Structures are given as structure tokens and as C-alpha cells.
Amino acid sequence: MRVATWNVWWRFGGAWPARERAIRSVVADLRPDVLGLQETWRDADGSQAEALAALLGGHAVFVPVGVPPLPDPPEHPVQAGAEIGIGLVSRWPVLATAVHDLPAHVHEPARALHATLDHPAGPLHVLVACTEWEPTREATADHRAQTRVLADLLADPALDGDLPVLLVGDLNAAPGTPELAPLEAVAEDLWLLGGGDPDAVTLSSDTPMAPVEAVKQIDRRIDHVLARRGRPAAPPLRVTHAALAGHEPVEGVLPSDHRAVVCDVELPAP
């Protein structure tokens, strides 16, 4: 199973239509089975998740959130009328969804998506999230509270089963930080299990549109594919490949300010 997560930078910047084409090109090449999206969009005609699902022949979910806030007024005409949120694209049908509110006092609403997918080997539980990023004291308190809630959701025994429980997202925290610690206590980092470079960066200051004001996130690996075993006695998780994607221009255009994280996970036979 190929699992990926990607912050696709909403409709920020002046080159959104060209970036959208580049995003679709990268996703078409990757062909993920599960793709978590952050800073994704929905307008009156549908959502980016739905468009990517149609490209792959899959299924999609979109949930509006307030991280980051929408520009007011819009910076470009293409931003008018578009929501910002998190999304999921799945190869398998979506059996059920739940939306969990996360603690937020700075940017509201903050939410996590829980989708149960109809995998041939059994229900596959996937959480998608984008957490707080600002370095202020109040925002940092929100950030830490949010990752604690995500850790509780991920560790919930009600999600036990034959398949691992996944969390994909822009968690705005690097490994070893207090913000990520609650999740590191209950989940494994599939990037490292797949042999990914421990010093890899998913938000690089080398990117022309990099948010250099994000002092806690820039030049760090803040986008993650995490998982716990479906049951305590289950065999160890096995990841055969881990790579970054979306960091090369497509026809001269960078798709996003973030790099996608891609992990290939071995699953039990159905």
C-alpha cells in the first residue's frame, strides 16, 4: 500500500492554475493508495480531493478547517469563494467518516478527519490533520494540545484490527520536539522505518515561496506518515520504501511549498 501526505498550499501564490496542473501530474505519477491533503481547497464546483480521486479512479473526502486562515480580502481572483481544509483520496471506498474538533484558540476551527476505508483485508483507519504552526505562546499551547488529542485518537482501542492505524498530515513539528512527543509515544515513523534520511526536509527555505517566517518549521521534516500496529501482538510494521515527491518543477512550476512524503507499506494478505 502506498501512503502519502502532501500540503498542497491551497490557492496561495499567483501561479495557482499552473500549480494545480503540476500537482495533478505528480499525483498521477505517484498513484498513492491513500493520500492525505492539507491546505487543500473546495469551491462551488467541487474539491481538489475529488478531482484527484477522479484522476486515480478513487474516492475522496474534504473537511474545512481554519489552519491557515483564508486571506481577507483575497489576494487573487481564483481565491474568491474557495474554502481551505484537509482532505483524503483513497483507492478504496470510504465506509465511514468522523470529524474531531481539536483544541484551538488562535485559528479556528481546527479538526482531524477519521476515515474508515473498505480495504480487502479489513477496515483501514486513517486520520488526516493539519496542526497549529505559529510560534506565539497561545498558539504553541494549542499545537501541543492538538497533538495530544491526535495521539489519543490514534491509540484508541476501538480502532484495533488486522491493519495498521494511520495518521497522515502536516503536523508542523519535527521529530524530537515537544509538539510531536505525544504521537511518537504511540506511533511509529514510517519515514524512518522505510530508510528515509533522518535529516530530510519537507519545508525548505530553498523553495522560492517558502514561509521563512515559520521559524519552528522551516528546513525541517514537519510532514509525517505515522502508524501504530492494529493490535499490540501484530507483526512489526514493514515499510519497503520512503521518498519525497513534488519538490521538482513540473514544466517550470513548483507544485507546492511543501514536499510530499511517500511510504510503501506491506500489509497482510486479505
Kindly report, residue by residue over 214-231, the tens digit of the pLDDT: 878 999 999 999 999 999
Instruction: Name the residue type at position 188.
Output: E
The span from the CA of 131 to the CA of 169, in Å, is 8
Residue 118's pLDDT is 98
Residues of the chain with pLDDT under 50: none
pLDDT at 215: 76
Inter-helix orientation angle 16-30/48-56, to 10°: 40
Phi and psi based region of residue 170 (left: phi greater than 0; alpha: psi -120 to 50; beta: remaining) = beta
Closest CA to 227 of 203, 198, 194, 202: 194
Is residue 67 within 8 Å of 132, Cβ to Cβ? yes
Residue 53's contacts (CB-CB under 8 Å, 6 or more residues apart) are 59, 60, 89, 90
Task: Write the CATH number of the domain with boundaries 2-265.
Answer: 3.60.10.10
Q: How confident is the model at residue 124, as a pLDDT?
A: 98
- Percent of the chain at pLDDT above 70? 99
Tell me how far apart the alpha carbons of residues 25 and 83 are, in angstroms, rounded to a whole number.
23
Q: What is the pLDDT of residue 270?
A: 65
